[in-house]
């Protein structure tokens, strides 16, 4: 089950991404309206979550363009709660409207309800795993397997590996990894380096092999594609 999330707040995007993947959804992320449309056309998600205030194209315009082509379920996500904004979103074809801040559990429940109503071929519950090469991360139990072998990671190490795995092949800045793992943006990059070393050791990785965690000096880390 694919869900497209479009939000220019990367911290909010990461939180929603994690909550949805833990419920078994395949998450497609976009940080502006133009990127959201490109991902929509390329990936054909089952449901779309749109922030209203995004650069390049706002959520209203993205909703309008998607609705011209398809009946994909759309939920608007925004800090705006003025009646005229709610009415505008619904008139443009949105199926639901959720005002920030919201509970991830509440959002997921509303998504499931909307998908049940909209799907005619029977709603299927997604599976709660993230795969990257020979790594499998179980988002319910916080367990990791590598080539079928269980690897014991701490919750903090799991969050770091999760962020790298869901962005496989892309460099994630130190600051974003620290903020996601610890929940604040003033953490110590050297401490992050220590945890990365522990993850490498537990997974039996070297820095130059396929599927390794690679450091990009002065920038961040990347989980290389296997």
Query: How many domains does the chain divide into?
Result: 2
pLDDT at site 193: 87
Q: Is 69 helix (H, G, I), strand (E, B) or coil?
A: helix
Q: What is the pLDDT of residue 7?
A: 93
Task: Note the pLDDT tens digit of each residue in 170-182.
Answer: 888 888 888 777 7
Q: For residue 117, what are the contacts with CB-CB under 8 A and spacing of at least 6?
A: none
Whether 78 and 180 map to the same domain: the answer is: no
Question: Tell me, what's the pLDDT at 121?
Answer: 44
What's the whole-number average pLDDT of the chain?
A: 83
pLDDT value of residue 191: 82
Residues 112 and 183 in one domain: no
Instruction: Give residue 169's region: left, alpha or beta (phi > 0; psi -120 to 50).
Output: left
- Flag whether pLDDT at 166 surpasses 90: no
* Distance, C-alpha 6 to centroid of its chain: 10
| 112/8 same-domain check | yes
pLDDT higher than threshold 70 for residue 183 = no
113 and 189 inside one domain: no
- Mean pLDDT of the 6-18 span: 87
Partnered with residue 222 across adjacent β-strands are 214
pLDDT band for position 150 (50/70/90)? Answer: very high
Q: Are residues 7 and 103 in the same domain?
A: yes
| CATH code of the domain in which 93 resides | 3.40.50.2300
Structure tokens at 36: 């959201």
Helix 155-166, helix 189-203: angle, nearest 10: 90
88 and 154 part of one domain: no
* pLDDT tier, 116 (very low <50, low <70, confident <90, very high otherwise): confident
pTM of the model: 0.59
Q: Which H or E run contains 47?
A: strand 47-51
The residue that leads in pLDDT, 126 or 47, is 47
Verify that 137 and 186 share a domain, yes or no: yes
Residues 45-103 have pLDDT tens digits of 989 999 988 998 999 999 999 988 887 889 988 776 667 777 788 888 888 888 888 88
Looking at the fold, whether 72 and 177 belong to one and the same domain comes out as no
pLDDT of residue 5: 95
Which residue, of 97, 118, 139, is where some domain finishes?
118
Find the DSSP H helices in the chain: 10-22, 33-43, 59-69, 83-91, 104-118, 155-166, 174-182, 189-203
123 lies in a domain? no
What is the predicted pLDDT for the residue at 144? Answer: 92
The domain in which residue 155 lies consists of: 129-223
> Could you report the per-residue pLDDT of 192-226, keeping only the tens digit for each?
888 899 999 898 876 666 668 988 888 889 998 76
| pLDDT band at 122; cut points 50, 70, 90 | very low
* CA–CA distance, 111 with 117 (Å, rounded to integer): 10
pLDDT of 186 reads 52
Choose between 136 and 24: higher pLDDT.
136
Residues 68 and 107 in one domain: yes
Residue 111 falls inside a structural domain: yes
- pLDDT value at residue 11: 84
Give the pLDDT confidence score for residue 126 in this predicted structure: 55
Looking at the fold, whether 165 and 193 belong to one and the same domain comes out as: yes
The predicted pLDDT at position 90 comes to 81
Same structural domain for residues 148 and 183?
A: yes
């Amino acid at each position: 089950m694919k869900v497209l999330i479009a939000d220019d707040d990367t911290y909010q995007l990461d939180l929603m991404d994690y909550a949805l993947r833990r419920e078994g959804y395949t998450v497609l992320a976009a940080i502006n309206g133009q990127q959201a449309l490109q991902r929509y056309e390329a990936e054909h998600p089952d449901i779309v979550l749109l922030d209203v205030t995004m650069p390049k194209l706002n959520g209203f315009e993205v909703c309008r363009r998607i609705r011209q082509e398809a009946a994909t379920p759309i939920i608007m996500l925004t800090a705006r709660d003025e009646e005229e904004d709610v009415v505008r979103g619904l008139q443009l074809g949105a199926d639901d409207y959720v005002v920030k801040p919201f509970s991830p559990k509440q959002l997921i429940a509303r998504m499931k309800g909307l998908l049940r109503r909209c799907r005619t071929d029977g709603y299927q519950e997604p599976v709660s795993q993230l795969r990257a090469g020979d790594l499998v991360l179980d988002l319910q139990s916080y367990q990791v397997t590598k080539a079928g072998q269980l690897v014991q990671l701490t919750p903090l190490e799991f969050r770091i590996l999760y962020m790298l795995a869901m962005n496989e092949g892309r460099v994630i800045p130190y600051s974003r990894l620290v903020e996601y793992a610890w929940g604040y943006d003033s953490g110590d990059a050297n401490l992050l380096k220590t945890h990365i070393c522990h993850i490498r050791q537990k997974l039996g990785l070297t820095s130059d092999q396929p599927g390794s965690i690679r450091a990009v000096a002065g920038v961040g880390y990347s989980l290389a594609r296997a």
